[in-house]
């Protein structure tokens, strides 16, 4: 037992954004004594999610971001996993049902995407845009195979991403992980020690390391364990 709630670990739950994880996620969040639930959302995305059930924005933002939103919606439909952001909606529902505060710990999406576009070299911009176009036509089975490869070796997969697009990895993963870790540190300072944090699985390891550097212990549930051996798969970031 811990002397206080702020001495216990933060629970990090890794998810994928177009996979139906309602049953296992409800089980994980329902069996814990919690002071609150935190999610990888900012106020703008949270408002869109609670309004229409999807975090994919219908207008505005860089072209690649709009294309990736369409890719996620298509894959969710083909794989049968549900709309993008469904797992965040489940976490929000559990928080409401249990009378727990819901904390939005991510950076504003518009500012993040603008920073990414400004920082990204031309070659990486072209690669990202081409990847988004290709994603509109790639069969779902190919994405499922890539997801299985990620599950088998998540750290190696992330390193491949860093080599292919270091700016994207730094802005979308590293910087956000640090910012989310700092917000979680502040929440613990306010007495919210027993936190469950629902994030894309690609954030889980880096966010855990960022919390450890701040002296915060972590319990981690990877996407692989959450989905189980037979659940469908898709992109975790």
The alpha-helical segments, DSSP class H, found in 31-139 are 43-52, 63-79, 86-98, 109-119, 122-135
Range of the domain at 164: 5-227
Per-residue pLDDT in tens (0 to 9) along the chain, 237 residues: 565 677 789 999 999 876 788 999 999 999 999 999 999 999 988 988 877 655 444 445 554 445 445 444 544 444 445 566 789 999 999 999 999 999 999 999 888 888 888 888 888 877 776 666 555 445 556 556 666 666 566 677 778 878 888 998 899 899 999 999 999 999 999 999 999 999 999 999 999 999 999 999 999 999 989 987 644 444 445
What's the CA gap between 81 and 233, in Å, rounded?
8
The pLDDT of residue 50 is 79
> Is residue 235 assigned to a domain?
no
Computed on alpha carbons and rounded to an integer, the radius of gyration of the chain in Å comes to 17
Q: Say if 19 falls within a structural domain.
A: yes
The answer to the question of residue 129 being in a domain is yes
Q: Single out the residue of 104, 106, 102, 107 nearest to residue 29, CA to CA.
A: 102
Distance CA 87, CA 223 (A): 12
The predicted structure's pLDDT at residue 183: 98
Distance of CA 72 to the CA centre of its chain: 13
Tell me how crowded residue 66 is: count the other CB atoms within 10 A of its CB.
16
* Domain assignment present for 237: no
Q: Residue 63 has what pLDDT?
A: 47
Question: Which pLDDT belongs to residue 52?
Answer: 62
178 belongs to a structural domain? yes
Backbone torsions φ then ψ of 186, nearest 5 degrees:
-65, -40
Residue 177 lies in a domain: yes
Instruction: Report the domain count for the chain.
Output: 1
**86-98 helix and 43-52 helix, angle to the nearest 10 degrees:** 90
Residue 38 belongs to a domain: yes
| Residue 236, in any domain of the structure | no
């Amino acid at each position: 037992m811990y002397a206080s709630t702020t001495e216990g670990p933060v629970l990090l739950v890794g998810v994928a954004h177009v996979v139906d994880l309602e049953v296992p996620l409800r089980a994980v969040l329902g069996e814990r004594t919690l002071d609150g639930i935190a999610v990888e959302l900012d106020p703008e995305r949270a408002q869109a999610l609670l309004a229409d059930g999807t975090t994919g924005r219908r207008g505005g933002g860089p072209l690649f971001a709009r294309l990736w939103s369409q890719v996620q919606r298509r894959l969710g439909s083909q794989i049968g996993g549900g709309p993008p952001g469904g797992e965040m909606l489940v976490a929000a529902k559990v928080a409401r049902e249990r009378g727990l505060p819901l904390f939005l710990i991510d950076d504003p999406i518009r500012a993040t995407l603008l920073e990414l576009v400004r920082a990204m070299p031309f070659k990486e911009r072209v690669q990202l845009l081409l990847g988004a176009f290709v994603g509109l036509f790639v069969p779902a089975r190919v994405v499922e195979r890539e997801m299985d490869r990620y599950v088998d070796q998540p750290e190696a997969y992330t390193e491949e991403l860093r080599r292919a697009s270091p700016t994207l990895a730094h802005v979308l993963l590293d910087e956000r992980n640090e910012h989310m870790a700092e917000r979680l540190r502040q929440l613990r300072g306010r007495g919210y020690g027993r936190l469950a944090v629902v994030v894309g699985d690609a954030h889980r390891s880096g966010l855990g390391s960022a919390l450890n550097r701040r002296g915060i212990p972590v319990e981690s549930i990877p996407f692989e364990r959450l989905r189980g051996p037979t659940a469908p798969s898709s992109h975790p970031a």
